[in-house]
């Protein structure tokens, strides 16, 4: 196992489950020090304990990315432990399915506050520290719905398209300061998010797998591998990029 991230200080938001957890595991396996920020405190504690069991240094921060004061407090706590930050994986996110005409103010703003405001609050705090130290790497979680559209997902698609724009703006503002900002655009991934949508009758994974040229959903570790590629200091010339990790979903335009 390579140690590309030995002693790097990495914060993963939404790190208690799914893609965030897979990314934290992969970073820890390559030597990174890990901070997990998640709103689900009991699950956060379980995940932190699991990662500590592998010998990793892990800090658990119970907070919502949508609360700017809580985000500031979490970064301040990391300052006192680590004195800086090398990696941010801006992963926490939620979905929501409703026809545009039925989308309430609350449903719209819940998705926007977590998927967009939360990404901004965390990127801003991380960027302040990384620009000051002259190095750092951020990966934001976009989606195939940063790039293409699905019906009844107005807030989700709009939030993820905005994450794509934010990734580019931050990348060009911070490039000269040694800070890279990239994003991944996963297709459908086997996580609790998708399992809950299946249980709620909101999606059916059989046609989704059929619609995917690779013929199946992704595993969380497959998304984590792409995130680590973008974080890898060896890829210092890659910034402002959104990498589709979608089994060919966005390439497909036939019948
Ligand atoms: N699963 C997919 O098919 C898929 C596809 C494309 C993009 N994504 C994106 O990947 C990211 C992770 O998705 P996942 O499938 O791993 O989700 P998940 O629901 O399995 O895990 C998300 C984690 O984020 C946490 N979280 C939710 N709201 C939060 C908040 N306000 N503050 C802090 N933590 C919060 C949850 O507690 C959970 O631990 C999301 O941004 C999602 O939009 C997922």
Q: For 81-123, what is each residue's pLDDT tens digit?
A: 999 999 999 999 999 999 999 999 999 999 999 999 999 999 9
What average pLDDT does this structure show over 50-68?
Answer: 98
Helices (H), the chain: 18-29, 41-52, 68-82, 105-112, 118-133, 154-174, 192-199, 205-211, 220-231
Give the pLDDT confidence score for residue 4 in this predicted structure. 96
Cβ density class 77-94: b for 16+ within 10 Å, e for less: ebeeebeebbbbbbbbbb
Question: Which residues does ligand 1 sit against, CB inside 6 Å?
Answer: 13-14, 16-20, 38-40, 64-66, 91-94, 114, 118, 141, 143, 186, 188-189, 191-194
* 62: pLDDT strictly greater than 80: yes
Angstrom distance (rounded) from CA 131 to CA 121: 15
Residue that is written with structure tokens 């995917």 in the block: 212
User: In terms of Cα–Cα distance, which of 143, 178, 167 is closest to 249?
Assistant: 143
Give the pLDDT confidence score for residue 119 in this predicted structure. 98
* 186: pLDDT strictly greater than 80: yes
Assess if CATH 3.40.50.720 describes domain 9-187+219-245. Answer: yes
User: In terms of Cα–Cα distance, which of 75, 30, 74, 34 is closest to 51?
Assistant: 34
Residue that is written with structure tokens 């396996």 in the block: 29
Q: Which atom of ligand 1 is nearest to the CA of 184?
A: 7
What average pLDDT does this structure show over 152-162?
Answer: 98
**Helix axes 118-133 and 68-82, enclosed angle (nearest 10):** 30
Q: Name the residue of 193, 202, 245, 246 to mutate for ligand 1: max ligand atoms within 8 A of Cβ.
A: 193
Q: Which atom of ligand 1 is nearest to the CA of 160?
A: 43
When pLDDT is cut at 50, 70 and 90, the band that residue 2 belongs to is confident
Percent of the chain predicted with pLDDT > 90:
99
Instruction: Delimit the domains of the chain by residue range.
Output: 9-187+219-245
Helix (H, G, I), strand (E, B) or coil at 242: strand
Protein residue with least CA distance to atom 19, ligand 1:
193
Q: What is the average pLDDT score of the chain?
A: 98
Give the pLDDT confidence score for residue 216 in this predicted structure. 98
Give the pLDDT confidence score for residue 120 in this predicted structure. 98
């Amino acid at each position: 196992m390579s140690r590309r991230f030995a002693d790097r200080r990495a914060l993963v938001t939404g790190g208690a489950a799914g893609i965030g957890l897979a990314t934290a595991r992969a970073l820890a396996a390559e030597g990174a020090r890990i901070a997990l920020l998640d709103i689900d405190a009991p699950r956060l504690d379980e995940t932190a304990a699991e990662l500590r069991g592998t010998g990793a240094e892990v800090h658990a921060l119970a907070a919502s990315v949508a609360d700017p004061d809580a985000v500031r407090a979490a970064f301040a706590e990391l300052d006192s432990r680590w004195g800086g930050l090398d990696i941010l994986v801006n992963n926490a996110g939620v979905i929501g399915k409703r026809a545009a005409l039925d989308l309430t103010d609350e449903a719209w703003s819940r998705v926007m506050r977590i998927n967009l405001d939360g990404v901004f609050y965390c990127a801003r705090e991380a960027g302040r520290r990384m620009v000051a130290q002259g190095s750092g790497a951020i990966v934001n979680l976009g989606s195939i719905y940063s790039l293409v559209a699905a019906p009844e997902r107005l807030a989700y698609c709009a939030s993820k398209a905005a994450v794509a724009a934010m990734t580019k703006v931050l990348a060009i503002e911070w490039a000269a300061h040694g800070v890279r900002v990239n994003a991944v655009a996963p297709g459908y991934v086997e996580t609790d998010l998708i399992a809950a949508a299946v249980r709620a009758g909101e999606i059916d994974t059989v046609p989704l797998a059929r619609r995917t040229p690779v013929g199946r959903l992704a595993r969380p570790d497959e998304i984590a591998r792409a995130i680590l590629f973008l974080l890898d200091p060896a890829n210092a010339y890659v910034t402002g990029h959104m990498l589709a990790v979608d089994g060919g979903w966005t390439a497909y335009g036939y019948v």
